[in-house]
A and B are shown apart, each in its own frame.
Chain A
Amino acid sequence: MKVTQDFVRRLPDSRDHFARQQGLWQRIHIDPILLLLLLMLTCFGLVVLYSASGQSEAMVKRQFVFFSIAYIAMFVVAQLDMQMVRRWSPWLYVFGIILLILVFYIGVGAKGAQRWISLGVVRFQPSEVMKIAVPIVTAAYFSTRSLPPKFREIIVSLFIIVLPAILIFKQPDLGTAILISASGLIVLFLAGLPWRYIIGTLMLIGASVWPMWHWVMKDYQKQRVLTLLDPEADRLGAGWNIIQSKTAIGSGGLQGKGLLNGTQSQLDFLPESHTDFIIAVMAEELGLIGVSILMALYLLVIARGLHIAWTSQNTFNRLLAGSITLTFFVYVFVNIGMVAGMLPVVGVPLPLVSLGGTSIVTLMTGFGVLMAIATEKKKVVV
């Protein structure tokens, strides 16, 4: 029995009387609230980047170009039919896995890691594909199952999630591997993973800390954790970043030293000030007030994303929208927490603020998916 157009009918919707007003946004598949929030974040990000890059106009222009491309990507993705996306998702996933395997053979590297495939002018990071592919394929998988998932389905979904994560971990890129796993696990959680599994897993993780530390983790990874616990122990090495970024944040105080007046960042004490550690620049120059505004913007974006997920009308859309939103949160949390010395330093940029083309395009593609979901005609599949 195939679902045909006959079985789809409009439900009486309490928001029907807004339909006419929202007609334009609906037609161009843009969620105006989310767009506004993203634009605000983007502008905020450009200003902070201008300061963090040592007032480099070239860098800001570059970032502006990235944003333009990313907004276009978002707009294009927002036009996609989610059911089509759902059907094509396995192929996207397979394509991504092949690219990840290819990285080991034809990949190019930097700083001891092999993460990119060179396409002539552009270098392309296959793990970015997986950031989108994993939640989509996991959501698609659960959308065809009756929820909450059964044990066998959980095992299958875990396999789907863990395979790319292992490949990425081998590059090695622990941060991305964790984030991609998280995006899949969030789908699993939202799909109704039974609490007994959640609690059981948490207990298992707790028990495996010791063997992980001794058998699995590499020295540089251990070093990051140790540094987190005691940054002063390695003042000039790994601890330097944390000490300097905490100093930058702390010395900013409530109101900050004023834009472009951050001594820590402007005098090069802060490493990677325009990429991963950019929030330290902001905290120093705009103070706790600036940080709070930024956090509020992120929180609003996340709330809007969850609202879109909540109001979407089918399981696939719900799970995918929820996963994209919560993964976005994980990015935000890991970066802000890492710079403040709460989490180990893993290479995670601050979403939409740090300099970086791929990360912005990937994120905005995700928001494109959210918009596609938000503006999909409300349908009920019987």
Chain B
Amino acid sequence: MIWAQKELHEFKDHRREARVFGVRAVLALMFVVFMFGLLFARYYKLQVVDYHDYVTRSDRNRIHVRPVPPNRGLIYDSRGELLADNRPTFTLSIVSERSANLEQTLDFIAGLIELSDSDRDSFKKRLRQKRRPFEAVPLRYRLTEEEISRIAVNEFRLEGVEIEAQLMRYYPKGDLFAHTVGYVGRISESELSNFDELTYERYSGTHSIGKVGLEKYYESKLLGSVGSENIETNAHGRVLRTLESVDPVPGEDLQLFLDTHLQQVASDALAGRRGALVAIDVATGGVLAMVSAPTYDPNLFVNGISFKDYRALNDSPDLPLFNRTIQGQYPPGSTIKPVLGLAGLHTQTVNFATRIVDPGYYQLENDERFYRDWKKGGHGRKVDLRQAIVESCDTFFYGMAFRMGVDKIHPFGAMFGLGTRTRIDLPSERPGLWPSREWKQHVRGLHWFPGDSLNISIGQGDVLTTPLQLAVMTATLASRGTHLKPRLVRKVGDRETKREVVDQIEADPAYWDYVISAMEGVVHSPRGTAHRIGRGVDYHMAGKTGTAQVVGIAQDEEYDAEKLDERQWDHALYIGFAPVEAPQIAAAIIVENGEHGSSAAAPIARKLFDAYFEWVAPVKPQK
């Protein structure tokens, strides 16, 4: 050893060494005690002085607030049949951190259930997106029972695979109520960006929002309010337990006036056609049936419609997505004649004794133009208002309108709701058009011509109405002047919606009787334009047919369906109510390009009324 030889060659002063060591050891001990003091001070600072800061931080660390979305309110028909339901659907998700071999797992799953390439691709896309560790990434939505059991049986081989249940909107009646109930869909980016902070909060945890129909109109009622759960997570974000929770408040249920059976009858009657039907409960303004044909399956939209399906619907010339009942604006044709007749009586332009000669056309003074009657050769020499309504004589109305003038016609029609939105509880309603002198001056920059009055008197010219407006007009006629706001929803939660009178039309009861009796004649007199539907009926109804021109017919030409494309054929219309003595149901029907109201539209009303009296409100057989 380099130093071993030196051992004891020098004299060691043991006392001095011990003394030096002693001093150093004491210093070291003092240093140790001092350093322990520092440590203690540090822990004292953390654990006593800053205690509250760290407790907060620790809680924030582990406790996360998770929103619990409320169940969306259900929608029922008037008899309690479900029109919009929430059904559990099952989603297959993978926690990639727990899966040893992701590709292998995916292949294995593909062997068990159907897994398209696009499922795999979008799964991988989602996997790459920013997310917390241990968050489940969805792979396949809407698993069937069979698929769930196949996965369940193989669970032990599927590490990290989870099946989650979620409530998803489901429309059990399929396409039957698509245009009224509407549908929900995923909240879009643009909707999201329009949310204010409060709305954003209300929707946390919720993925869908009402897009059209009642689902959109009653969104705030159906939504409910979001609950929350304080959940404890570990550092990987895995949920360990729920500490406390605030239950969500489910959305309110809606009960409608709509009746599934009536809706079905109306829908069947319109099947294969383009058209619309609206039936209203005269006493309440409640909508009993509302059909826009053709229609579509709202369930397609709930989880995001495929591009192909959407294009098929959107590009269809039959416009299935278009809600004809509130958005279709059609010339009402002769269906507005009862209103005009009432106006004529009310303004004393005509009376019960007024008779005209109908040569089959009408001519204004100093005007070359022939205002033609639909019937060649006219309706005879002694046409009164009743006959004019029953047989739908245009010439009578031309003369009456000319004498009455637009300034009297317009306000009267307006009281029935023509030209303004009915304010029904649906979004995107259109107002139609009920022309006035001011309107023409303002919009067209033209003076009102007497010929314009003639045109509107038979529901042509610039007049446009929605089927719903016609139904409201009919109900107003049926109730002899009580113009009610139409509504689809009878109850929100357990609160009844209110009957709302828009206008009360005050006219001599005799005039009402006269016009209604004339309308009854349309169906029940042998010369009535709709007499064919009056056969074998055990209740009395009132109605009016209409035919609306789609293309203008030149002066020297005649309408000839065979020369025209089917889509240019006239629209067929019909309005009616029953029973005449104490009207309960009023309806308006339009069949696009159906040509004649009497043949295409009126029979649909008959089917509807028959179903109504058989199913909803049986009446005692009339004599």
Contact = CB atoms under 8 A, between A and B. Distances in A.
B21 A319 contact: yes
B46 interface: yes
Contacts of B33: 299
Given A253-B55, A268-B236, A318-B21, A146 B47 contact: no
Given A189-B28, A319-B21, A251 B40 contact: no
A42 B355 CA distance: 120
A1 interface: yes
B311 interface: no
A208 interface: no
A364 to B, nearest CB: 20
B46 A267 contact: no
A315 interface: yes
A342 B42 contact: yes
Contacts of B234: 267-269
Given A267-B62, A267-B235, A268-B235, A250 B57 contact: yes
Given A247-B58, A267-B62, A269-B62, A144 B6 contact: yes
Contacts of B6: 144-145
A1 B8 contact: yes
B11 A288 contact: no
Contact of B55 (A144, A191, A250, A333): A250
Contacts of A191: 20-21
Contact of B50 (A87, A146, A250, A283): A250
Nearest to A287: B47
Given A263-B58, A337-B42, A310 B22 contact: yes
Given A190-B25, A288-B47, A299 B58 contact: no
Contacts of A287: 47
Contacts of A87: 4
Interface of chain A, helix or strand or loop or mixed?
A: helix
B17 interface: yes
Given A299-B36, A315-B17, A192 B24 contact: yes
Contacts of B32: 299, 302, 326, 329
A381 B57 CA distance: 62
Contact of A146 (B13, B39, B57): B13
Interface string B186-208: 00000000000000000000000
Contacts of B12: 146-147, 315
A303 B58 contact: no
Contact of B54 (A186, A251, A310): A251
Given A190-B28, A248-B58, A251-B54, A318 B18 contact: yes
B554 interface: no
Interface string A213-252: 0000000000000000000000000000000101111111
B242 to A, nearest CB: 14
A246 B44 CA distance: 12
B146 interface: no
Contacts of B14: 314-315, 380-381
A3 interface: yes
B235 A295 contact: no
A267 B53 CA distance: 19
Counting contact residues on chain A (CB < 8 A from B), the size range is 35 or more
B20 A269 contact: no
B577 to A, nearest CB: 70
Contact of B61 (A247, A299, A310, A315): A247
Contacts of B560: none
Contacts of A315: 12, 14, 17, 21
Interface string B31-53: 01101101110111011101101
Interface string B209-253: 000000000000000000000001111100010000000000000
Contact of B47 (A147, A250, A263, A299): A250
B271 interface: no
Interface string A255-295: 00000000110011100000000000001000110011001
Nearest to A318: B21
B28 A251 contact: no
A340 B46 contact: yes
A192 B24 CA distance: 7
B1 interface: yes
Given A146-B13, A267-B234, A288-B43, A190 B21 contact: yes
Contact of A249 (B35, B36, B38, B46): B46
B29 interface: yes
A371 interface: no
Given A310-B25, A322-B21, A337-B39, 20 more contacts: A144-B7, A190-B28, A191-B20, A192-B21, A249-B47, A250-B54, A250-B55, A251-B51, A251-B54, A253-B47, A254-B48, A287-B47, A288-B47, A291-B43, A318-B18, A322-B25, A329-B32, A336-B39, A340-B42, A342-B42
- The 9 A-B residue pairs whose C-beta atoms are closest, nearest first, are A250-B54, A251-B58, A192-B20, A267-B234, A250-B46, A288-B47, A251-B54, A268-B235, A268-B234
Interface of A: 1, 3, 87, 90, 141, 144-148, 186, 189-192, 244, 246-254, 263-264, 267-269, 283, 287-288, 291-292, 295, 298-299, 302-303, 306, 309-310, 314-315, 318-319, 322, 326, 329, 333, 336-337, 340, 342, 380-381
13 contacts: A87-B4, A141-B3, A145-B10, A148-B20, A249-B47, A267-B234, A267-B235, A291-B47, A299-B32, A302-B32, A322-B28, A329-B32, A342-B39
Interface of B: 1, 3-4, 6-8, 10-14, 16-18, 20-22, 24-25, 28-29, 32-33, 35-36, 38-40, 42-44, 46-48, 50-51, 53-55, 57-59, 61-62, 232-236, 240
